[in-house]
């Protein structure tokens, strides 16, 4: 009997706010500070229910077990079967940051543990920063022995993702000055060493068929040295989607543009977001004709409504879903669009269920099949949907160690000893 297609979410996070440099907390509105000020219920009961839940989740910054429990609860309410959990390495974004190095591996381990406790529901992506000296060794360890199935790149943290000498241009001079920062646990890297790490990353991902999700939004978190008057503009050259077409083709990669350009208030930023969205549509259509393993995808991951004024949120979301529906019917584009929510950041304005239901109400069943299921399976695990043996072995081993059964849900098919996402 055929298994049912699973509903996926390609963009979520398990955040440890203790691991954020102070400037990143400030960029996100000082979340830890104002959340503590609001206090526990009943003091904050007058707040919107979604804001209360957001506060509850974000306060669990020391307990990933609680965060994963919240996540699974929200997934169940929304009817989401599995989610990609994106790890982020923020330390390189601030050369004056307090010593976060000792938490890097700890957070990776906590995300892996959450995945083992919720088998086939959470699929972790490794946050790669080429300035970290042990980045390649850690990537291989987590992919091959800890159940990680993909890679997350966040160039806005202050690094150029291009693995060639174009990064030595005068316009990117600050990148190499900035790259010389010293990590508490591992010295510093030169520009040539950083390029070498990027080349090793892309070769490794291409050889093993590992997907890469890239932050591609005019907003988000960004390097501390950015000019405060210009805000994000100084790092847009790193995050520009045009950087990644040549990389995907050269190394045979599956790359997803997260947030699809995003959208925030303010005419200049909105103009750039629209420009990037159109550029991404063009790139996805071009990549459709490439042939071979190289593919480009895009998720919208809440970027369309993040930081949009409340009175404009529903209008913006409706317009975006209308465009998504049209794009899904475009043969050269519709195979490469993915559903993502940016959980738990989306919870500040709407629950996971409320957000997903907006799409369910407006998309036809065949469009939902592509957007929630088939396309996500193809990006994360390739056209076959085969889940890497390294993930299955890790989950099976950890479940055995914890004295828990190895459970295979009904959106996972087992064939000849291998496991596949049902599509």
pLDDT at residue 346, rounded to an integer: 82
Write the DSSP assignment of 319-363 as a string of letters: HHHHHHHHHHTSTTTTTSEE----BTGGGGTS-HHHHHHHHHHHS
pLDDT value, residue 100: 59
With a cut of 50, say whether residue 219 has pLDDT above it: yes
Residue 181 has pLDDT above 80, yes or no: no
Which pLDDT belongs to residue 175? 45
Confirm whether 3 is domain-assigned: no
Query: What average pLDDT score do residues 357-364 get?
Result: 92
pLDDT at position 20 is 72
- For 43-81, list the strands marked E by DSSP: none
Q: Residue 27 has what pLDDT?
A: 66
Between 131 and 409, the higher pLDDT residue: 409
Q: Is residue 2 part of a domain?
A: no
pLDDT at 388 over 80: yes
pTM of the predicted protein model: 0.91
As a whole number of angstroms, the distance between CA 243 and CA 419 comes to 34
Residues 6+ apart with CB under 8 A from 26: none
**Residue 299 near residue 339, CB atoms below 8 Å:** yes
pLDDT given at position 315 = 72
410 assigned to some structural domain: yes
The SS3 of residue 407 is coil
pLDDT at 28 > cutoff 90:
no
The answer to the question of residue 1 being in a domain is no
Q: In the sheet that 122-128 helps form, which strands lie side by side, from edge to edge?
A: 8-12, 82-86, 122-128, 150-153, 212-217, 254-261, 295-299, 337-338
* Mean pLDDT of all residues belonging to the chain: 83
**Burial label, 96 (beta-carbon count in 10 A; 0-12, 13-18, 19+):** exposed
pLDDT tens string 271-297: 888 899 999 999 999 999 998 999 999
Q: Give the domain CATH number at 31.
A: 3.20.20.140
pLDDT for 333: 94
Residue 389 has pLDDT above 90, yes or no: yes
The token pair at 313 is 């949120």
- DSSP strand pairing (82-86 vs 122-128): parallel
Is the pLDDT higher at 70 or at 125? 125
Residue 330 within any structural domain of the chain: yes
Q: Check residue 164 and report its DSSP letter.
A: S
Residue 152 gets which letter from DSSP?
A: E
Average pLDDT of the residues in 215-235 = 75
Q: Identify the weakest region by mean pLDDT among 23-27, 169-173, 232-236, 307-311.
A: 169-173
Q: DSSP of 185-228, one letter per residue?
A: TTB---HHHHHHHHHHHHHHHHHHT--EEEEEESSS---TTS-T
325 inside domain: yes
Q: What percent of the chain has pLDDT over 70?
A: 77
Angle at 259 between CA 270 and CA 18, to 5 degrees: 105
**pLDDT-wise least confident of 249-263, 292-306, 345-359:** 292-306
pLDDT at 168 over 70: no
- What pLDDT is stored for residue 237 in this prediction? 84
> For residue 176, what pLDDT is reported?
44
Distance CA 81, CA 77 (A): 10
Structural domain that includes position 413: 8-421
Structural domain includes residue 65: yes
User: Which residues are registered as beta bridge partners of 355?
Assistant: none
pLDDT at 307: 44
CA distance 358 to 346: 13
Residue 162 has pLDDT above 60, yes or no: yes
Overall domain count for the chain: 1
List, in sequence order, every residue forming a beta bridge with 298; answer none if it has no partner.
Answer: 257, 337
If you average pLDDT over residues 61-80, what whole number do you get? Answer: 86
Least confident residue range of 37-46, 77-86, 252-261: 37-46
Between 42 and 117, the more confident residue is: 117
* 123-153: pLDDT as tens digits: 999 999 988 888 999 999 999 999 999 999 9
């Amino acid at each position: 009997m055929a298994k049912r297609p699973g509903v996926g979410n390609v963009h979520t996070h398990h955040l440890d706010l203790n691991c954020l440099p102070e400037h990143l907390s400030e960029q996100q509105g000082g979340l830890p500070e104002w959340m503590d000020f609001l206090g526990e219920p009943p003091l904050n009961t007058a707040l919107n229910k979604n804001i209360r839940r957001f506060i509850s989740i974000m306060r669990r910054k020391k307990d990933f077990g609680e965060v994963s429990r919240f996540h699974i609860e929200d997934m169940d309410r929304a009817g989401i079967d599995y989610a990609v959990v994106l790890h982020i390495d923020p330390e390189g974004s601030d050369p004056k940051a307090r010593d976060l190095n000792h938490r890097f591996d700890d957070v990776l381990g906590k995300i892996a543990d959450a995945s083992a406790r919720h088998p086939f529901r959470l699929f972790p992506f490794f946050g790669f920063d080429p300035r970290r000296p042990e980045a390649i060794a850690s990537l291989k360890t987590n992919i091959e022995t800890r159940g990680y199935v993909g890679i997350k790149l966040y160039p806005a943290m202050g690094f150029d993702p291009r693995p060639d000498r174009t990064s030595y241009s005068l316009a990117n001079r600050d990148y190499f000055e900035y790259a010389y920062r010293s990590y508490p646990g591992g010295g510093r890297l030169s520009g040539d060493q950083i390029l070498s790490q990027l080349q090793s990353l892309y070769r490794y991902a291409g050889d093993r068929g590992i997907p890469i999700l890239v932050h591609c939004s005019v907003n988000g978190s960004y390097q501390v040295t950015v000019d405060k008057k210009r805000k994000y503009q100084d790092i847009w050259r790193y995050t520009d989607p045009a950087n990644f077409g040549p990389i995907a083709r050269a190394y045979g990669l599956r790359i997803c543009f997260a947030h699809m350009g995003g959208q925030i208030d303010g005419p200049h930023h909105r103009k750039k977001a629209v420009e990037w969205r159109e550029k991404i549509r063009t790139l996805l259509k071009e990549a459709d004709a490439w042939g071979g393993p190289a593919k480009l995808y895009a998720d919208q991951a809440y970027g369309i409504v993040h930081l949009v004024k409340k009175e404009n949120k529903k209008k913006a979301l409706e317009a975006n879903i209308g465009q998504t529906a049209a794009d899904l019917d475009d043969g050269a584009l519709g195979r490469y669009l993915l559903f993502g929510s940016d959980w738990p950041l989306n919870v500040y304005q709407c629950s996971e269920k409320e957000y997903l239901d907006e799409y369910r109400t407006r998309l036809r069943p065949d469009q939902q099949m592509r957007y929630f299921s088939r396309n996500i399976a193809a990006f994360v695990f390739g056209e076959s949907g085969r889940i890497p043996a390294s993930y299955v072995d890790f989950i099976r081993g950890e479940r055995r160690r914890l004295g828990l059964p190895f459970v295979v849900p009904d959106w996972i098919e087992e064939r000849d000893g291998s496991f596949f996402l049902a599509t």
